[in-house]
Structure 1
Amino acid sequence: MLPALQKDKKEYVIASAICVALALAFALGIYAFRGAIFGRTEVAAPLPETPTTPVYRHPLTGARVEAPVETLPQVYAVMIDDSVDAWPQSGIDDAFMVIEAPVEAGIPRLEAFFYQGTDVPKIGPVRSARPYFVDWAYELDAMYVHVGGSDQALDLIGSNGTFDLNQFWNGDYFWRSTDRFAPHNVYTSTELLGEALANAQERERAPERLYGAWMFVDAVSERPEQGADIMIDSVSATYRVDWKYDETNGRYQRFKAGLPDTTLEGDDVWADNIAVVVTSVTVVDNVGRRAVVTVGEGQGYVFQDGRVIEATWKKLSTGERLRFYDATGKEIAMVAGSTWIHVVPSEDYVVIKAPTPDESALDVRDDDAIEAF
C-alpha cells in the first residue's frame, strides 16, 4: 500500500476511536444528569440478612427452652427447718431458688422454691410461717407451704390473699417421718403439692399467676482462674455458711459448719448465683421473733461465675419481684440455674474470700441478657 494511503487510514482509525469514546462519555453524562434530576440512581442490592434464632428461657430458672412459655408455672414456696435437729434436709438441692433469713435466736430458716412439673419426692422438714417469708412467696404468686406460724404471719396470710397451704388444715398433703421427733419431722413432695393445687383449682381458689421474670444469661465460657469464695456469718459457727467456687463447673458448693452441706439423700448442695440482701432485722417480742424489712432498697451483693458484684437490691412493693442492680443502675442478669439469697442485718456478716468486688464484672454480658419469656 502507498505510504500516503497508510497514513490516511491510520488517522481515520484514530479519529473514529476518539468519536466513539466521546459519544460514550456523552451518553453516560446524560444518564447521570437524568438520574440526578429525577432521583434515579442505581444502588447495590442489599446482602441477605442472616436469620437469627430467638432465645426463649424458662421464667424461673432462665434455662433455654424451645418455645415461649405461654402459661406461667405454679410456684411452691416451702418453709424448711434449718436448725441442727433438722439436718440433713431433703429437697433443697432441687429448688430453683432458696431464701435464707433468721428466725428466733438468730437461727436460719429456709424458704425453698419449686415449680409445677418438677419431681421432688421429699421436701423438708417443713416448718412454720413468718411474715417476711410470706412477702417473698407473694411476689411469685406462690402456694405458701408451712406448718402453722406466728400470729403476724397467719394474719398477713389471711389479709393479703396469699395462696396458703397450712399443714394444720391440709394434712393430706404432708406426712410425718418416724425417724425424727416433732417438730422436725414433717415432709411433703411436689406430687402432693400438685394434688393440692389441682384441688384448689377445682374449687377456684388458686389465684391467677402474674409474676415477673428476672433477666437471665448463660454462664460464661471463660472463667477466672481463682473465683471468689463467700462466708456468711450467723449467730454461731454452727450456722456459718461457706460457698466455695468451683472453676471447673462455674458453680458454688455450700458448706455448713465447715463441712459440705449434703442432703438426706446424699447429694451436695450447689447454686449458680449467690445473692445477699442487707436489710433491717429487729427482735419484736420476748420469744425472739424477728421483723425483717422486705420492701424498699438497700445494699447487696451478687456472686456468679467466680465474680463479685456490689449491688443494690430493690423490691418496690409486696407484689413486686426482688431484683438486684449494679452500680450503673442496670438490673443484674442471673446465670441460668439456681439462686440462693441470704438475708442479713449487716454487711459485716458477709466475708469475701478472694478477688475484690468488680462492678464491671458483667459488662461483657449485658448485651446477651434477656428477660425470660
Structure 2
Amino acid sequence: MRGKALNKPRRSRAAGERRMVIKDLKNFSVLKDEEREGNKKTAGYNWRVICYVFIIIFSVLVFIAFTYLITFYPDLFNKVGRNLSLLEKSQPAANVCPGCLPRSIDGYPVPAGQENLFPVAIVIDNHPAGRPAFGLEEADLVYEAEAEGGITRYLAFFANNEEVKKIGPIRSARPYFVDWVKEMSALFVHCGGSPEALAKAYKENIFDFNEFYQGSYFWRDSQRPGPYNIFTSSANLSKYLESKNLTEGKFLSWQFKEEAPVSAEPKDIEIGFKSPDFVVKWKYDEINNEYIRYLAGEVQFDGQGSSEIRAKNIIVQSEEAKVLDKELRLKIETLGSGQAVICLDGGCREGEWQKSSLSARTRYYINGEETKFNPGKIWIEIVRPDLEIIY
C-alpha cells in the first residue's frame, strides 16, 4: 500500500524577513558594543599618553629648578642639610649609644669603661718630606706648633680604643711639648729631642717613651728616607701600657655641650705660617658641622687611606716665642695667659687662654666664661702673635 507524503508547513516570506531583521539588529548591536569598547580603549590609551607626557614635563621642570637653585643658591641646600644633620645629632646620646658616657679627652660618647683611658701623646712630623702623616685622623686632640725654621710639628693625643696600624713619622721632642704632655699626665712618645726638651722631661718626671730606649715598640719604614721613617702602632703602645698596668687617665676634662648652629654666617680659618708649605686652612662643612683641614692649599688626607683630616673644634692660641739656638729651635711660653680665637659651630670668637702652672690644664674663656666645646676632635694651632690669622 503506497503511503501518503506528509505535508510540510510553508514558511511565510514575512516571517523570514522578520528573522533577518532581528539577526541584523543583533549583529549591529554587537558591532556597536565592539565600537564602544574600542573607543574606551582608545580613550584610556590617550589618557595614559597625556599622563606620561605630564610626568616627563614635570620632571624636566623640577630638574631645571633644582639645577638653577643648586647653581645660584648653594647655601640654601647646605643650610637645609646642616639643619637636618644637627636635628639628628641633637638627640640625646643615650639614644645613639645607650649607656654611653662622655669621653674625658673630647666629650665624645663611648661605652662605659672607655670614657677615661690612659692618654698617649705622640710627636708626629709635618715636614714635606715626611708627608703624609699617619694616625692624625684617629687622634682625639692635636696640637700643631713650630719646631724650628717655620717648620711645624704635631703633638697628637690618643685616648680611645681605635686600632691604628701605623702612627708617624715620629720625631723629636721640644720643651713646650713637654708642658702640654704634663697637663694631660700622658705617655710621651718621641724619638730623641732637643737638649732642653729631654732635660725638662726628666726634671718634670714625665712618663717618657723615647724610641732611643724602647726600640722594640717601633719600626723603620724602608720605603721612606730617614729621619721620616720611624713609626709605631696603637697595638704596640697598648702592649706597653698594659705591661705597666696603666689603664685610666688622670687629667681634668674640659667642658662640653650639645652641637648647635650659629646665627652668623659660617667662617673658614686660615693660619699664615711663614712658609707656603705649611699654610693651614680649615674650611667649614655645614652639613656635618665640622672643619676640613687644608695644608699648602690642598685637602689634607691621613696616610692610612682616603680619610680627610677633620675637627669639631679649632683653637688658634697665640703664644710668645723666641729662638733658642743656631738650629732655630724655639722656646714657646705656655704659662700665663694670652689671646685665642675659638671656632666651633661655624663661628669664631675672640677669647683668652689661661694656664696657671705646668700641671694645670690650659683653659679657654670668652668674655670671662669658660668655653664649652662640641663633642669630638679638637685641634689647637699654636701661633706667634705676629702670624696672620684670617677668619
Using structure 1 for the length normalisation, give the TM-score: 0.75
**Of 247, 260, 276, the match for 2:286:** 247
Q: Does 1:218 align with 2:262?
A: no
Counterparts of 1:116 and 1:304 in 2: how far apart (Å)?
22
Counterparts of 1:96 and 1:345 in 2: how far apart (Å)?
24
Counterparts of 1:219 and 1:189 in 2: how far apart (Å)?
32
Counterparts of 1:123 and 1:140 in 2: how far apart (Å)?
20
Alpha-carbon offset, residue 72 of structure 1: 3.1
Letter in 1 for 2:376: G
Helix, strand or coil for the counterpart of 1:103?
strand
1:46 maps to what in 2? Answer: none
Alpha-carbon offset, residue 199 of structure 1: 2.3
1:26 maps to what in 2? Answer: none
Contact 1:141 1:207 in 2 (8 A): no
**Of 214, 218, 230, the match for 2:269:** 230
Counterparts of 2:218 and 2:197 in 1: how far apart (Å)?
20
2:166 maps to what in 1? Answer: 122
Q: 1:278 to 1:85 in 2, by over 3 A?
A: same
Q: 1:116 to 1:74 in 2, by over 3 A?
A: farther
Contact 1:108 1:239 in 2 (8 A): yes
Q: 1:104 to 1:70 in 2, by over 3 A?
A: closer
Counterparts of 1:70 and 1:256 in 2: how far apart (Å)?
32
Alpha-carbon offset, residue 266 of structure 1: 2.4
2:376 maps to what in 1? Answer: 337
Counterparts of 1:194 and 1:207 in 2: how far apart (Å)?
9
Q: Does 1:57 align with 2:102?
A: yes
1:141 maps to what in 2? Answer: 185
Helix, strand or coil for the counterpart of 1:168?
coil
1:196 maps to what in 2? Answer: 240
Contact 2:190 2:211 in 1 (8 A): yes
Alpha-carbon offset, residue 237 of structure 1: 1.1
Identical aligned pairs, as a percentage? 35
Letter in 2 for 1:257: A
Q: Does 1:266 align with 2:311?
A: no
Q: Does 1:99 align with 2:139?
A: no
Alpha-carbon offset, residue 106 of structure 1: 1.5
Counterparts of 1:76 and 1:144 in 2: how far apart (Å)?
6
2:58 maps to what in 1? Answer: none
Helix, strand or coil for the counterpart of 2:149?
helix
Helix, strand or coil for the counterpart of 2:236?
helix
Counterparts of 1:344 and 1:257 in 2: how far apart (Å)?
17
Contact 2:241 2:247 in 1 (8 A): no
Q: Does 1:295 align with 2:366?
A: no
Using structure 2 for the length normalisation, give the TM-score: 0.72
1:42 maps to what in 2? Answer: none
Alpha-carbon offset, residue 70 of structure 1: 8.9
1:155 maps to what in 2? Answer: 199
Per-residue deviation, residues 100-122 of structure 1 (Å, max 9, x unmatched): 00011110000011015332111
1:307 maps to what in 2? Answer: 347
Per-residue deviation, residues 241-287 of structure 1 (Å, max 9, x unmatched): 00000111110000011100012222110000000111111101111
Contact 2:121 2:155 in 1 (8 A): yes
Letter in 1 for 2:291: Y
Alpha-carbon offset, residue 349 of structure 1: 2.5
Counterparts of 2:149 and 2:218 in 1: how far apart (Å)?
27
In structure 1, stretches of 5+ residues that fail to align are 1-52, 353-373
Q: 1:70 to 1:94 in 2, by over 3 A?
A: closer
Counterparts of 1:70 and 1:304 in 2: how far apart (Å)?
25
Contact 2:114 2:161 in 1 (8 A): no
Counterparts of 1:274 and 1:145 in 2: how far apart (Å)?
24
Counterparts of 1:225 and 1:91 in 2: how far apart (Å)?
33
Letter in 2 for 1:317: S
Q: 1:148 to 1:70 in 2, by over 3 A?
A: closer
Alpha-carbon offset, residue 333 of structure 1: 0.6
Higher Rg: 2
Per-residue deviation, residues 222-249 of structure 1 (Å, max 9, x unmatched): 4558411000111211110000001111
Q: 1:270 to 1:224 in 2, by over 3 A?
A: farther
Letter in 1 for 2:343: F
